[in-house]
Amino acid sequence: MKLDWPSFSPSKDITVHPMLHTGTARLAWLILTQRLTASGRWFAIPTLVFGVYGGVSLQIQGYIVFSYFFAFWAIAAAAMLALRPKVKLNALLAPRICAGETLPVDVEIEQLGRLSQIDLVVLPHRLPLAVDADPDGGAAVPSLRRGQRTRVRLGLKCNKRGVYKLHGFRVECDYPFGLLRASRTFDDTRALVVYPRFQPVGHITLPTGRRHHPGGVTMASNLGESFEFVGDREFRDGDSTHDIDWRATARLSRPIVREYREEYFMRVAVILDTYVQPKATPLEHDNFERAVSVAAGASDYLARQDYLVDIFAAGPNVYHLAAGRSLAYLDQILDILACVGENENEPFAVVEPQLMENLAQITTVICVMLDWNPPRRDFVRNIVSSGSATKVIIVRDSPCTMDPSMDGNLLGRASIVTRQQYEMGLERL
Amino acid sequence: MTRAQQATVLATTRPAWRPTLWLLLASMTAMAGLYTYTQQRHMAIPLMTIAIGLSYLIPYRLSRTGPARWIIRGCLLAMLLLLAPDRTQMRSFWYVDEGVTSLLGMLAAAELMLQHWLGRPDAPRQGIMLVLCAAIFAASTNAREPRLTYILAPLFALAAIGSLRVFSPQQQQAPTTAPLRRGMKSRLFKGAAVAFALLVGFSTAASIESMRNRLNRIGAEWLMSFAPRTSVGMSSSSQLSTRFNVTPSLTRALRIRGTRTTMHLRGMVFDTYESGTWRPKLEQRIMESLPVGFIPPPQAKLFQIDRLEDNLSLLYLPLNLASLQADQNARVDVERGHRGVITCTPEAGDECVYQVAPGESLNSQGPLCRPLTPDERAACLLVPPQVDPKVRDLALPLKKPKPLQTMVSIAAYLQANHSYSLKADMGEGDPISVFLLNPKRPAAHCQFFASSVVMLLRSCGIPARYITGYYAHEPTSDGGLVVRQRDGHAWAEAWIDGIGWMTVDATPGGGQPGSREEDESVSNWQKWREWFSDSFSTISNFLRRLNWRQVALAGGLVALVALTVQSILAARKRVRPLPPTPYAFPGDDLESLAMDFNRWLGRMGETPLDSATWMEHLTSQAEQTSARRQHKRTQVDTARDFVTAYNCTRFGDPTDPAAIAQLRQLLDKMKET
């Protein structure tokens, strides 16, 4: 995997960066990024130039320029110790967002100190590597008097799906020269769930119709989805007296009952293949991320239609979703997809027994696969033999290990999603 | 609008292409410093200053892509090198070479000017420009009238602080509920802080200046503490001591190319022993010039010795030397008499390199094996009175009928009865007598063994002398040898009638350099450092021989090659075909179909948003249209069918006339309905 250099951004948590192994390296980088401003880093270069050149000998007059530069540093350091921000901070932000989007954060700041402070900046503290602050250097805070409040808007650009820990916010002051930062940290640990970025799928052709779902109507979330009135008919033995249409009975002088049709839903299981071989190529990692997005898109499609996802399996983990359409199972699935990781072992041997126990009530199984090979074929064959229809979506750029068209009787028409197709948008699967 | 808001507006009205005026001040200060440093000789400095000033008025900027910037950079470089003042006219009393500093300053100034005109139109690279300003100013602080530096330095520091404010986040107004206010009070405080910093800076500089001499002395002492404690080379007189090379230095003394034969390389030769010290000192010897070296015999196999470090300027040579050739510019002196010590003083800055041809065998008698005169023979047979007479008693049993056998017998005796140690017990009295006559048979180092051999040989009537030098044994990867200070050694030479001078090394085998356990192996880091040092000195030697015009020509050639390569790459980039797309571009037929369909959608009131595809838009419309609006639903469904068919053709075979005709037919039908 490509490893980026540690960021110079003051809001990043560089302590988790794999390149900074040692405590000394971390401390040096923290000083460079969090204690020195961008101006300070640039100012440090001429200071070093004059210091080193002038330090060769005092016959060279570099020491005179160095003295002035050093004086600026000394006063900036003294101000850094004296002008620590005295403020109160409260941040408002949503706990979930999609990858690639910018999460707005409203930060309310109240001045507590007697002296009104200027050149204040608020920024996130120790952001994960996959989340960027917007603006990168933090948002400027207006000068406040004691007890005065203001609200500043920040953005958190979430580049990659996952569940991240936010460590709170920091208020900094680089007065008077903008070289060194005095800061106060407000520890406000909270989780941020970044859903995978997905495109809505136009249509998924599922290989079976509806099945009766006991209690489906009571779980219906939309208005108008209730017992549907079909018409009147004559009373037959066994009909409930609650259904007698008394007006029609009176008009026709014989018992007439109202006939209703119950709602039917389809129950679906979604299975995501998470097997990525050790030392996989970047393309294979990319395939996996795309498969996660396709699974999210498929779940989104199912949520928009009259389908219920009962089971969601990601790799070796099976989740039973206590789902009706009113229970927001899409959120549950996206939560799972946010933190699903790659597996270095084939997950089907683990998943299959758990899945088979629950397949009796499942009408269709959607399998998002990363390849088509004997273990996957056997897995799909077992599902089909248990009576459930199967929809296989293969997310892959290169040719599969086995040709899916050879298993047409098993797969029907398998959908293969390449990178180009994915980027063009998935109109139909 | 308040004054603060007005100030904010003014601050933000600076055009994006123009650096701040603080940076202009820093640039001007640096250029002024350089101009005064070069004593107003270089007219290019005012021209470049004007060019920098113009860049603040003219919004035109050179493209950052393409070869133009490299051509200009190369031209500037060549021009500055060609127009560089003659180094002979420069002031030699400056601490650092004035030619070098002024040239570096000029190059930085040219780059600063270029950066002003190359700056990105949206964000000039102020950080880099400031660093260049600092480089120019640093170059000009080499030495000048201090008062001028006292004026320019605070101005430069102030401009540097001011120019870096562009990096502050406060410069960009945040979307807050209240405007940023920077009142008069904060400005006053900031101004006071700047004034205080300048005052502190001035006080610090003045304090340093008042203590300059003392600080310089302390610094020199401190630097000296890092200097290597062991000097490289031989002593001008060899004194027997308790320790020898206890902390062996890995510093290289010699580099030998062309042979891997291990050998004794003699540096100093002594024949007079007085109370534990071998004399005479080098300074007391009579040296005479050796202008042409020793002429090599025909078909002699030469090898080269590079003397890397030596404190006495000695040439280290094997005893069986046949010929010697040193650099023509070097001064070579040879000692008059049998000792034949040779020194070589190269020209300033040059390395001492000499070619050596050994004799056919180890016992070949060359120019270093001159026969002894009667006086010299007497000196080489003298056993001083301070040496205990019992030493002679010890030697006599070792005497054999032939001198060569006696020599072998003495060496064998010492090796059999004494062991090697870097530390020796001096005892009281003459060290050699103590060493030889002590019944405990003490261990000692090579100086004791060599001195003992000399005294025992002389006691047996064989002329002998004492030698210090190196034992070359460490091979290098390039097929040669390297000699380090730890390879320092002492041995003896004996005059054998009928043969001549012969090397006698009586030090036990384990004590010879290369076989001692104390010798550290050379780390890879040390080898890498030596390789880097050699490469650097090779390049610097090569460059030192060039004059300014050759340097300019070389720079121009490098720039030309770089330009050629870049042009070729650019040309290749231009003609490179586009990567194959997964689908063909739509032809005219499909394009007109798409336009017609868009128009139809518009007539139906279904104009899709730019952000949505046809299918996304139609699907959302289908979801929003209630079942009762049957006509509308039919329209949307028909449109979706058309889009599906269009996509199949568009991304399938866009040139299929049958599919296009079918699409046209479908669209016409939709229009009719």
Which of A52, A72, A114, A134 to probe the B interface (max B CBs under 10 A)? A72
The alpha carbon of residue A279 is apart from the nearest alpha carbon of chain B, in Å, by: 28
Helix (H, G, I), strand (E, B) or coil at B71: helix
pLDDT in tens, B55-94: 888 888 877 777 777 888 888 887 777 776 655 455 544 4
Question: For residues A380 and A374, what is the distance between their CA atoms, to the nearest angstrom?
Answer: 10
Verify whether the Cβ–Cβ distance A202 to B615 is below 8 Å: yes
Query: CB-CB: which of A60, A119, A179 is closest to B141?
Result: A60
Phi and psi angles of residue A24, each rounded to the nearest 5 degrees, phi first: -65, -40
* Contact status of A359 with chain B (Cβ, < 8 Å): no
Neighbours of A177 (CB within 10 A): 25
Residue B395 neighbours by CB under 8 Å, 6+ apart: B410, B455, B456, B457, B459, B460
Chain A, nearest residue to B191 by Cα: A176
Question: For residues B343 and B314, what is the distance between their CA atoms, to the nearest angstrom?
Answer: 4
Q: How far is CA B611 from CA A425, B608, B620, in A?
A: 12, 8, 13
Helix (H, G, I), strand (E, B) or coil at A105: strand
* pLDDT at res. B178: 46
Length of chain B: 673
Calculate the average pLDDT of chain B: 81
Question: For residues A269 and A272, what is the distance between their CA atoms, to the nearest angstrom?
Answer: 10
Question: For residues A22 and B111, what is the distance between their CA atoms, to the nearest angstrom?
Answer: 38
Calculate the average pLDDT of chain A: 81
Q: DSSP strand E in B396-523: where? A: 464-472, 474-475, 481-484, 488-496, 500-504
Verify whether the Cβ–Cβ distance B204 to A67 is below 8 Å: yes
CB contacts of B133 in chain A (<8 Å) are 46
The alpha carbon of residue B308 is apart from the nearest alpha carbon of chain A, in Å, by: 25
AA letter at B126: Q
Instruction: Indicate if ipTM > 0.90.
Output: no
Verify whether the Cβ–Cβ distance B615 to A64 is below 8 Å: no
pLDDT in tens, B371-404: 889 999 999 999 998 899 999 999 989 999 999 9
Residue A140 neighbours by CB under 8 Å, 6+ apart: A119, A120, A121, A152, B169, B170, B172, B173, B174, B176, B180
Q: DSSP strand E in B371-420: where? A: none
Question: For residues B334 and B345, what is the distance between their CA atoms, to the nearest angstrom?
Answer: 12
Percent of chain B with pLDDT over 70: 83
Band (pLDDT 50/70/90 cuts) for residue A171 is: very high
Q: Of the ranges A188-202, B169-183, B312-326, which one carries the lowest mean pLDDT score? A: B169-183
CB contacts of B200 in chain A (<8 Å) are 71, 74-75
pTM of the model: 0.58
Which DSSP letter does residue B243 get?
A: B
Helix (H, G, I), strand (E, B) or coil at A96: strand
User: Considering only CA atoms, which of B37, B15, B241 is closest in space to residue B124?
Assistant: B15
pLDDT in tens, B439-461: 888 888 899 999 999 999 999 99
* Max Cα distance, chain B (Å): 138
CB neighbour class for B114 (10 Å; exposed up to 12, middle 13-18, buried from 19): buried
CB neighbour class for A402 (10 Å; exposed up to 12, middle 13-18, buried from 19): middle
* pLDDT at res. A223: 45
Question: For residues B254 and B476, what is the distance between their CA atoms, to the nearest angstrom?
Answer: 12
Verify whether the Cβ–Cβ distance A67 to B202 is below 8 Å: yes
CB contacts of B149 in chain A (<8 Å) are 61, 64-65
- Are β-strands A162-173 and A182-195 bridged in parallel, bridged antiparallel, or unpaired? antiparallel
Helix (H, G, I), strand (E, B) or coil at A275: strand
Contact A287, A368 (CB under 8 A): no
CB contacts of A424 in chain B (<8 Å) are 651
Of residues B644 and B583, the one with the higher pLDDT is B644
Of residues A323 and B75, the one with the higher pLDDT is B75
Chain B, nearest residue to A10 by Cα: B169
User: Considering only CA atoms, which of B320, B270, B245, B318 is closest in space to residue B484?
Assistant: B245
Of residues B114 and A386, the one with the higher pLDDT is B114
* Contact status of A398 with chain B (Cβ, < 8 Å): no
The alpha carbon of residue A68 is apart from the nearest alpha carbon of chain B, in Å, by: 4
Verify whether the Cβ–Cβ distance B169 to A50 is below 8 Å: no
Query: CB-CB: which of B135, B142, B647 is closest to A49?
Result: B135
